[in-house]
Amino acid sequence: MENLNEKLNLKNVKYWALGFNSNFDRLSFFKKEEYWQAIDYAIDDPRPAAKKARRLFKEIQVGDFILIKGYGGSHDLIVHFKAQVLSKDSENERLELQKVNGLLYKGKAPRGAGAGIWHDTILQVKREKDIELLFGENVKDMKSAFIDWMIEKSKPNYFNNDKLKWSNYLDDSLNYFKKDIFQCTATNYKEIISLIEQTMNANKPLFYKNDGAKDSGKLAAILGKENYTKFLEGYFNDEDILINQKSSYRRPLNQILFGPPGTGKTYRTISNAIAIVNPDFDLNQKRSIIKKEYNRLSQEGSIIFTTFHQSMSYEDFVEGIKPKIGKEANVQYVIEDGVFKCMIKNALSEYLQLNSSDSEDFETLYLKYIETLKPFQKSREGLFKTKTGVELMLANVNESSILVKYLWSNNKKEKEGQHTFSVTKEKLKRVLLEEVVPSEVRSLKAELHPLVGHIHCELFAVYKNFYDFVISQNGSIETVKYNPKDLIFDDVMEEITTLTKEEIKNKPVKNSVLIIDEINRGNVSGIFGELITLLEKDKRIGEEEEILVKLPYSKKEFGIPLNLHIIGTMNTADRSVESLDTALRRRFEFKEMMPNYDVIKSEEVDGIKLADILKTINERIALLIDRDHTIGHSYFFGINTKEELANAFNNKIVPLLQEYFYGDYGKIGLVLGEGFVEEQKNKELKFSSFKYEGKEDFIAPTYHLKKVTFESIIEAVKNIFNTDNN
């Protein structure tokens, strides 16, 4: 998050107080999912309050700050949540938010001229003193920063440096204190330290080993003078540390969105990735426009999407030796870059500047060159010559390749060669990048074959002609400008190593995003290999603790730049967060995405609210299995008819429950009811006369699925709500 105090000085930023209509279930979703959507008036509601709410909503902009408030009693105001607006959906009257950590105001509501009406759904906070009171204190959630500080210490090594376990442990510790000890400001941190000391001294059996503490004094050691207390004093006594901490936690470099299937994890990554790569893009647009921007960024290589699976390996992800069939059907083995290495190359290339402006770029030179060739198309003129002097004619030319044929002497039966050879623009670029001088080439096979393959003889003839043209235009091939993304990985790394750490850290560059869908389905340790250490911010290129490793196949140096963000998605129904590799978990931040019933609150079929159906089903699944196996709201998106509802159950929900309960249709019946599962008594079933002890015990009821149709779906769904208490 950006510095809140800096935001206070920006004239175009506004501050808003938003209500939630006293619906605390809704409030919990707003806080958990970081959004707001509480204009409950009908679209055509003519009342002044409805019109006022919609008029003010139109004025809210991306970048504004909001608080979600409750108001009642003797002018008492409670701030439940503070955030900054990340995007705005005008059509659905919804705001996507990013939480601002800090103390939440509780007290008398501002009054007097200019204070506004605090029971309104939307209120603009205008007075400076009110903004300072409600938004202005620079509050930090110190938990994450403290965890990082503890992990960096060599001793002691608590929880194997697992960030998730650290976070859970510190959250549990809050039960011992009357206020959140991790919400601190420069003015109250000493009070927090005093509160910790007083609480521990007053409850010694809970904290101290010698007084019988169950955890052998671990919590006291973590929160005591050598750790948390020391951390707070150092943090708030050093202004530079404070500034650096703010900037470094603005947006996580490595993040995993996790939750049950259908909660919108993959959907959310698209908006998140665009916001990282192109922060100026307005996400408050139609989904089709957002997808178009996502596709554009993907095509240019700023965003790469991949999916982990059981057979994914280090060789697929980073680099590996792959077989390649040559022209003569012989097998060759080449080192091939994986998706991660390609992504790193794209991100690193953003740090490289094009050469000086007094020379032309390759693309312009190539287009000029082919214009000079066009008059010679299909002319029996020896425009090109091989290294041995054999002439070739120009067959055709376009923006991507130059086609040539051999031109035979008149004593030959053929007036020209029958085969056409294609010399592509990319191959010419590759040779020019290597700064090959034709007159210095001794062996085509040794010097050009590794670059362009078997077409080296024909390419040499065209390249020599192109080389002469470049010299005549540019004076030198060394000053030709290239798009850095056209360079191979080795060339990019070579250029990066010429930059100082200061140049890398201070250079404004475009971010890149690698999206890893279903990250928990692959063997993460095996896929990342030794590179998992490099994911940490302080180990990235340009940082003081920068680490470069030598790759096992290419033997080339490899590092990860600061402008690369990784977003993973994880289906908790496949594997729980706890079962993930510890090394991975402590290098990623985790954001939970659970079913959001508010998203489908307005959708219903034949008067039955789909949100109520989903909530009822999920409550039962959570009891029978766990919350990680609940069903996401996307399963009910866009359902308007009985046919669509029946298809959703038959083709999506029931098959998912079959997988969850391993074919135990009885438990599926407990979730969905008699409309979807029927009991078969089996009382009349008779076994053969074969003697088998206790065979009568097998004659028990069995359960079978009932396929629903558009005619039966409504009655079946109504049965979901029937209970033994009805």
CA distance 491 to 489: 5
- Low-confidence winner among 161-175, 335-349, 681-695 (lowest mean pLDDT): 681-695
For the whole prediction, is pTM greater than 0.85?
no
Residue with tokens 């040779």: 431
Helix (H, G, I), strand (E, B) or coil at 301: coil
pLDDT at 3: 35
Instruction: Mean pLDDT check: name the lowest of 52-66, 409-423, 634-648, 692-706.
Output: 409-423
What is the token pair recorded at 385? 């010559």
Contact between residue 357 and residue 339 where contact means Cβ atoms under 8 Å apart: no
pLDDT for 151 beyond 60: yes
pLDDT tens digits for 343-352?
A: 999 999 888 8
pLDDT digits (tens, 9 = 90+) for 365-397: 889 999 999 888 877 788 898 888 888 889 889
Domain parsing of the chain, residue ranges: 4-138, 142-248, 274-354+484-529+539-552+563-570, 362-482, 597-720
Q: Is the distance from CB of 257 to CB of 591 less than 8 angstroms?
A: yes
Residue predicted with more confidence, 10 or 487? 487
Confidence of residue 492 (pLDDT cuts 50, 70, 90): confident
pLDDT one-digit tens code per residue, 574-596: 765 445 677 777 788 888 889 99
Nearest to 219 by CA among 169, 175, 161, 160: 169
pLDDT tens across 530-575, in order? 899 999 988 999 888 899 999 999 998 999 999 999 999 998 887 6
pLDDT at 7: 36
Tell me the average pLDDT of the chain: 82
Please list, in sequence order, all residues whose beta carbon lies within 8 angstroms of the beta carbon of residue 170, skipping any fewer than 6 positions away. 143, 146, 147, 182, 222
Average pLDDT over residues 451-479: 80
Q: What are phi and psi of 360, to 5 degrees?
A: -95, 160
Q: How far apart are CA 179 and CA 104, in angstroms?
A: 12
Distance CA(225)–CA(378), nearest Å, equals: 85
If you ran DSSP here, which 8-state letter would residue 481 be given?
B
The mean pLDDT of 287-308, rounded to a whole number, is 92
Residue 423 has, within 13 A of its CA and on its CB side, a CA count of 30
Q: For residue 694, which amino acid is it? A: G
* For residue 513, pLDDT beyond 50: yes
CATH classification code of 4-138: 3.10.590
What digits encode the pLDDT tens for the residues 234-263? Answer: 776 543 333 333 333 346 899 999 899 999
Residue 117 or 54, more confident: 54
Higher pLDDT, 277 or 12: 277
